[in-house]
Structure formats: C-alpha cells, structure tokens
Amino acid sequence: MKKSEIRFSIALDDQKVPEAISWSATDAGPDIHFAKAINISLWDRDEAGTMKIDLWTKDMPVDEMKHFYVDTIGAMAESVLTATNDSFMATKMRELCRQLMDHIEEEQRNQK
C-alpha cells in the first residue's frame, strides 16, 4: 500500500496569531510551500462529525480571504458531484458562488 504524508507548519507570534504557514507533501516533491490560509475539514469516523481547522496569516487581506472561501465552496461543489453524483447540491453551491462573487464585485466597485 502506498502511503503519502502532508505536513503543515504554523509559525505563531507572541499572541499566538499565525505569521507564516508552510506545508510539504511526499507527493509534491521536496520543496516547502507557503500559504496565507488553510481550511481543513475532516470527517471523524468515531464521532460521525466534521472537525475543522481554519487558519490564516496576519498578511491575508480581507478581499483575498473572501475569494479563498468562494473558491473553497466551488471546489466543494465539484467534490460533492464527483463523490455523490448529486447535481442538485453541486448546482446550488455553484449558484451560491456566483451570488457571492457578485457581492464581492459590488463591494469592490463601491470602494473605488
């Protein structure tokens, strides 16, 4: 059986706020990669529930954070379609992404 590992390293400031997030993976080569935010969800088999880890660095701008969440929902729409073949759920999630992007774009227009 092939085994893969993904490792995250979080550098915290004195107030325990993330300053840097790095990751490496056995299937991604030897390089260390950097991120401004991570969002990890796990389905706990014993609790039959979701465990989540959401972290972002101090230098993650709000507009990028909003795009990050819209991208995450869009990726989840593709995953739910692949995993369950539930096109209704996938379609609703994509519609939500479009509505959220409209909201973000309207905010950007109003800031100019």
Identify the domain containing residue 77 by its residue range: 61-111
Are 38 and 49 in the same domain? yes
Which domain-ending residue is among 58, 78, 93? 58
- pTM here is 0.86
Are 49 and 8 in the same domain? yes
Angstrom distance (rounded) from CA 23 to CA 6? 7
Tens digits of per-residue pLDDT, 14-31? 999 999 999 999 998 889
Are 52 and 1 in the same domain? yes
Mean pLDDT of 87-112: 96
Are 70 and 85 in the same domain? yes
Residue 90 predicted with pLDDT over 90: yes
Are 44 and 5 in the same domain? yes
Q: How many domains does the chain have?
A: 2
Angstrom distance (rounded) from CA 74 to CA 48? 24
The region that residue 81 occupies, defined by phi over 0 for left and psi between -120 and 50 for alpha, beta otherwise, is alpha
Give the model's pLDDT for residue 60.
96
Are 51 and 83 in the same domain? no
Are 4 and 50 in the same domain? yes
Minimal CA–CA distance to 38: which of 62, 68, 16, 12? Answer: 68
Give the model's pLDDT for residue 44.
94
> Please, which residues have CB within 8 angstroms of residue 100's CB and are 6 or more apart in sequence?
66, 69, 70, 73
Residue 95 predicted with pLDDT over 90: yes
> Please, which residues have CB within 8 angstroms of residue 44's CB and are 6 or more apart in sequence?
50, 51
Give the model's pLDDT for residue 28.
87
Angstrom distance (rounded) from CA 28 to CA 97? 29
Q: How many other C-beta atoms are found inside a 10 Å radius of the C-beta of residue 9?
A: 11
Are 68 and 100 in the same domain? yes
Residue 96 predicted with pLDDT over 90: yes
Angstrom distance (rounded) from CA 74 to CA 39? 14
Give the model's pLDDT for residue 14.
96
Tens digits of per-residue pLDDT, 25-72? 999 888 999 999 999 999 999 999 999 999 999 999 999 999 999 999
Are 30 and 72 in the same domain? no
